[in-house]
Amino acid sequence: MTQLMAHCGTHRAPEELVMAMKAPEWTPTWHPVSHRQVITSLAGACKQMGLEVEKREYSLSTDGHRMFGCWHLAAGTNTMAYSLGLRNGTDKSLILGVCAGTRVFVCDNLCFSGSFIKFRKHTGGLDLDELKTIGLDAVQGAVIEMEKLASWQEGLQDYWVPVEDRKQIIYDMATKGVFAGGQLGNYHTALNQELQIRRGHNLDNSHSLYNLHGAATRLMRGWSLERVANSSAALAQICDDYIERRTA
């Protein structure tokens, strides 16, 4: 995935506006599908799998070509709810795709997995029947990834981070695409909030990798959904790199 600044020109948008965006006419080699068709196909796939969508959020680029959505599902674990991330581009900038997501109940923090389960390029031969089939496959794959993501996040609590390692991890976040360097002070504020809320819920208050991760996702509140997904990917890589160093 690209770094967070690659598609930062998006804004929150109601579903009615997203659904109203038209796709360009097909050519022999390019079959762009509208955001409406993607949303309809995924909604059908969720219904077929018995997944209830509780809330839908969207970001849309200024020209309407790039769409990113987040669907919060009535499913998950005792501490996290599952979410679906979906994206589409009608200007050849994005491949149709779905990714897994979670929302932590205690802090209401949204996080996406680092990789998309791709639908398909908008090449010749893509039709609406195929889109429905691919949509079902993508949602089925996303369910598996959501379970993995929730388990991965819970596992971050097992890693207490010494102070020197904390400095390096936070530095990496500020230089590797999680947040801009100018937001370092805001990150530390978010970290203090994360620790205070967890203390209020009688949860572990130590500086674990889980808390460092949670503070970063807290900082992402209000960002465009596409930016959240890209930032989450960079954040997951930093956490995985740290775990690998610790376990080597």
Q: End of a domain among 149, 178, 202?
A: 149
Q: Are residues 36 and 142 in the same domain?
A: yes
Q: Which domain holds residue 93?
A: 4-149
Q: Are residues 39 and 128 in the same domain?
A: yes
Per-residue model confidence (pLDDT) at position 9: 62
Q: Are residues 139 and 222 in the same domain?
A: no
Q: At residue 150, what is the residue type?
A: A
Q: Are residues 109 and 178 in the same domain?
A: no
- The residue behind tokens 């390096």 is 168
Q: Are residues 15 and 107 in the same domain?
A: yes
Bridge partners of residue 97, in order along the sequence: 87, 118
CA 118 vs CA 70, 88, 109: distances in Å? 16, 10, 25
In terms of phi and psi (left: phi > 0; alpha: psi -120 to 50; beta: otherwise), the region of 228 is alpha
Q: Rounded to whole angstroms, how far apart are CA atoms 139 and 85?
A: 10
Q: Rounded to whole angstroms, how far apart are CA atoms 76 and 117?
A: 19
Q: Are residues 130 and 41 in the same domain?
A: yes
Rg of the chain over CA atoms, in angstroms?
19
Helix, strand and coil in the chain, % to nearest 5: 50, 20, 30
Per-residue model confidence (pLDDT) at position 201: 59
Q: Are residues 12 and 133 in the same domain?
A: yes
Q: Are residues 11 and 101 in the same domain?
A: yes
Q: Are residues 234 and 127 in the same domain?
A: no
Per-residue model confidence (pLDDT) at position 119: 63
Q: Are residues 135 and 163 in the same domain?
A: no
Q: How many domains does the chain have?
A: 2
Which tokens hold the place of 100?
């897994």
Show pLDDT as tens, one digit a residue, over the chain (248 residues). 222 223 446 688 999 999 999 888 877 777 788 899 889 988 998 999 899 999 999 989 888 888 989 999 998 887 788 988 888 888 877 777 888 888 876 666 788 876 676 665 555 556 677 778 878 888 888 888 888 888 999 999 999 999 999 999 999 999 999 999 999 999 999 999 988 877 765 566 678 999 999 999 999 988 877 788 889 999 999 999 999 999 98
